[in-house]
Amino acid sequence: MTADRHSDPGIPGDSGTHRLPVIQSTDDNDRRVDQGRIGDYELIRKIGEGGMGVVYKALDADGQAVALKVLRAHIAHDRGARERLRREVSTLVRVRSPHVAAFLDADVDGDNPYLVTSFVPGAALDEVVEGDGPFGAARLARLGRGLADALGEIHDAGIVHRDLKPGNVLMVGDDPVLIDFGIAHVADDSRLTSTGLVMGTPGYLSPEIVEGDAVTEATDWWGWAATLAYAASGRAPFGRGPMPVVLDRVCRGEYDLSGVDPRLRPLLEAALDPDASRRPAARDVLSALDLFATGGHTGELPVLGQRRPPAERRDRRAPSTERLANARPLTDHSKAPVQPDPTERFGPQVGPHARGHVVRPADDRPVPSVAPGRFVPPRDPRIGQPSRTGTLAALLVAVTGISAVLPTVGITLLVLWAIAARWCDKSITSMVLRRYSSGPRRSDTFVAAVASPWHGVIAALATLLTVLIPAFVGGCTAAAVALIYSMVEDDSVYLGRPLPLAVGVLIGAVVMWWGPGGIPLRRGSRSIVRGVVRGQPLTQIIIGLCVVLALAGTVFALTHLTSGAAWWPISSDSSLQLQLALGRPIGN
């Protein structure tokens, strides 16, 4: 924890900052302990807080500065919150490195559950770069090697950090210390369901986290590259702006490395590949980094290798201390992973070990659901859920088939779906943000209902703006198909025939899905399908109906190559056609 770093957070969704949000406390107990004691620790000052806890600079019994995180009073007696804190402790205990946050002490069973780490007298990387400017080659190589060593230790322990960014790197001189394991992912665990997507800094969330896909070691190497790009140029590699815009750049791999040393740029470009399977393995990254440190050019990066098999990993053990004799790494991976919290700012491995509180192993019994009215740790329900790609693909081909017969209906359905998906995504995001900042409240349903019309307006406006490029691409595609058909059949060029319309709608829909502004559409579409089409039988029925519609549309398009489509409900007369004549008379 940095000694002088006061809470000056950014706002979720603002990619112009690397800091996590701080929530102002209204809890009387939080104010009461602000100048008091917790356990054997004297609280000095508050240095951070979030939805689940508060972080203080504190002094231990020997007068050594430590960082102490305590759960908020209104959730301190919630068993689910305590179990998550216990699992977080189990995660931290698994990692030992001079470049990684160190666990010192914890008491998850007392009246005020807390977690203690050492206090670091250093500034965050983003603050250092803002003050000193971009790093030179030697300093950059040292930063890269230090972070790489940290990731090696973390990965050897079977953990993926998931949140490597400038704000989570403290600089002790020129040596980095990686902090904040709030959304760390145990490799053997189920995929994390958390606020990681909503609360993370947009420009430093890897594409797989944005899309809700499985995280691997490659996720951390992506964050490593993004962090080094910032240190090398002084600019966020994916720029600034609204969260959807920045996330879209992340998923497309549209980074700006113009200020990065040309010798280092090839390595960062490879590590920032949106496809995790194409990113360099750890050994390739380290080889290229060593080459850069000695004045070489990383353009000589070898063909991307495979990651180390588990057999090559060193056996990692938890810290051995007298006071932690009963502690053990988490082995029951059937439980929900540790929930994220922006207050988890921990220091390096210095100072004494645990001082007198036994950390009991995680309870092997499943964590019970929280009763209504009790605190539910904030989470984003979209992450880690089935993507439902097959059902969505079936819906797309069904709309394509409908567009071949009734293009007005097909296009209208496509636009309405886009609005509904963005509406759904906006509503879920707003609810998660609200519960993160204030915790669950009885007024949540009322607030959601009141805000829903406004979310709908925003979704409609966003759809109207983002549909322009897909409409243009779809129109050009339809024109190209019509032109090719006219050249083959020596006929006039018509856009109003079933085949050009169907192909144009299909391509336009694909561009809408993957193009600019497509992230909210994809997340919202998956949320709708998961909520409405539940169970295998219903899914099979829906997919079957969609396939029938698609086949019917295809047959219709192929058997009506020369006739126009029906533009119902605008007109029941198929003579109402969009026509494009290219040097030929228009006629039937």
Q: Which residues are annotated as a binding site?
A: 69
**CA 67, 198, 52, 182 torsion: positive or negative?**
negative
**CA 223, 229, 232, 234 torsion: positive or negative?**
negative
Sole residue written with tokens 């250092």: 128
CA dihedral 290, 291, 292, 297 (to 10 degrees): -160
* Number of residues in the chain: 588
Report which of 71, 102, 254 is spatially closest to residue 170, judged by C-alpha positions.
102
- Pick out the residues of the known binding site for ATP: 69
Task: Tell me the β-bridge partners of 120.
Answer: 2
For strand 37-38 and strand 41-49, is the pairing parallel, antiparallel, or unpaired?
antiparallel
Sole residue written with tokens 């210095």: 350
- 280 CB-contact burial (10 Å; exposed 0-12 / middle 13-18 / buried 19+): buried
Known catalytic residue at 163:
yes
118 neighbors 102 (Cβ within 8 angstroms):
yes
498 neighbors 388 (Cβ within 8 angstroms):
no
Query: In this structure, which long-range contacts are made by residues 473-480, counting pairs with CB atoms below 8 Å and at least 24 apart in sequence?
Result: 473/507, 473/508, 473/511, 474/504, 474/505, 474/507, 474/508, 474/509, 474/511, 475/504, 475/508, 477/503, 477/504, 477/507, 477/508, 478/503, 478/504, 479/504, 479/580
3-class DSSP assignment, residue 132: helix
1 neighbors 172 (Cβ within 8 angstroms):
no
CB environment 164-179: b (16+ within 10 A), e (fewer): bbbbbbbbbeebbbbb
Q: How far apart are CA 375 and CA 353, in angstroms?
A: 32
Residue type, 188: D
- 308 CB-contact burial (10 Å; exposed 0-12 / middle 13-18 / buried 19+): middle
Q: Please give the helix or strand (H or E) that residue 500 lies within, else none.
A: helix 498-514
E strands of 365-464, at which residues? none
Helix/strand/coil (H/E/C) assignment for every residue in 20-76: CCCCCCCCHHHHHHCCCEECCEEEEEEEEECCCEEEEEEECCCCCEEEEEEECCCCC
Q: Where are the alpha helices (DSSP H) in 135-240?
A: 137-156, 196-199, 207-211, 217-233
Report which of 151, 150, 162 is spatially closest to residue 98, judged by C-alpha positions.
150
Given 149, 163, 180, 341, the catalytic residue = 163
- Catalytic residue positions, numbered: 163
